[in-house]
Chains A and B, each alone.
Chain A
Amino acid sequence: GQQLNQSPQSMFIQEGEDVSMNCTSSSIFNTWLWYKQDPGEGPVLLIALYKAGELTSNGRLTAQFGITRKDSFLNISASIPSDVGIYFCAGHSGGSNYKLTFGKGTLLTVNP
């Protein structure tokens, strides 16, 4: 089946630093999604990407859909303590496939 490799598994950074995380897939996706999960909550959609090469921003967050359609990255600039959480990538191959494939997440800790 489809697999997503998300890295790094965890990051510990200082407030104000920039962060980068990425996902790679064994197969092509038509959609890439990035979610954030706060402790005790459900994942919340941050950014959705629909075209190869697409670069989309949401405040301090920027995500890109890789040209090969097999990867995506998420950058967070000038991190703040409330950025703490687990970030998940997810991919959708489209067509008759209704299911999202999720990465295992990147745990981000921000030291004030």
Chain B
Amino acid sequence: NAGVTQTPKFRVLKTGQSMTLLCAQDMNHEYMYWYRQDPGMGLRLIHYSVGEGTTAKGEVPDGYNVSRLKKQNFLLGLESAAPSQTSVYFCATGRTEAFFGQGTRLTVV
């Protein structure tokens, strides 16, 4: 029982490159979230999904897109990476209690 798994764990991108972060959960949760964590800023919600085929914007959605084609997977895409997107990204699942993955450390140079 892996819970919430994020891939990759680390990545370095050049400005303008694109990439997709994958979150997979085996907890059968409807709700899934993508957060970014920056020093002094806490956890900020990027996008979330309340079920397969649905997505919605969070606090800081600009520059990101998401898809939830399958209940167990939630993908976060960066179409054209910028240095301001250097951060640690966390996926979480659950409604009233959120369970987090181990994070993806992304550096955009």
Asked if A and B are interacting partners, one says yes
A contact set with B: CB distance below 8 Å? 1, 31, 33, 35, 40-45, 48, 50, 88, 90, 92, 94, 98-100, 102-105
Name the B residues within 8 Å of A105 (CB-CB): 42
Query: How many positions in chain B have a CB within 8 Å of any CB in the partner chain?
Result: 22
B14 to chain A, nearest CB (A): 24
In the bound assembly, the distance between CA atoms of A102 and B58 in angstroms comes to 13
B contact set with A: CB distance below 8 Å? 4, 31, 33, 40-43, 45, 48, 50, 58-59, 90, 95-103
A48-B97, A104-B40 known; A42-B45 Cβ under 8 A: no
Nearest neighbor of A101 in chain B, beta-carbon distance:
B45
Whether B48 lies near A99 (C-beta < 8 A) is yes
Determine the main DSSP class of B at the interface with A: loop
Name the B residues within 8 Å of A102 (CB-CB): 42-43
27 A-B Cβ contacts within 8 A?
A1-B59, A31-B97, A33-B97, A33-B98, A41-B102, A41-B103, A42-B4, A42-B100, A42-B102, A45-B97, A45-B98, A50-B96, A88-B42, A90-B98, A92-B96, A94-B96, A98-B31, A99-B33, A99-B48, A99-B58, A100-B45, A100-B98, A102-B42, A103-B42, A104-B40, A104-B42, A105-B42
Whether B100 lies near A43 (C-beta < 8 A) is yes
Name the B residues within 8 Å of A31 (CB-CB): 96-97
In the bound assembly, the distance between CA atoms of A69 and B63 in angstroms comes to 35
In the bound assembly, the distance between CA atoms of A48 and B95 in angstroms comes to 12
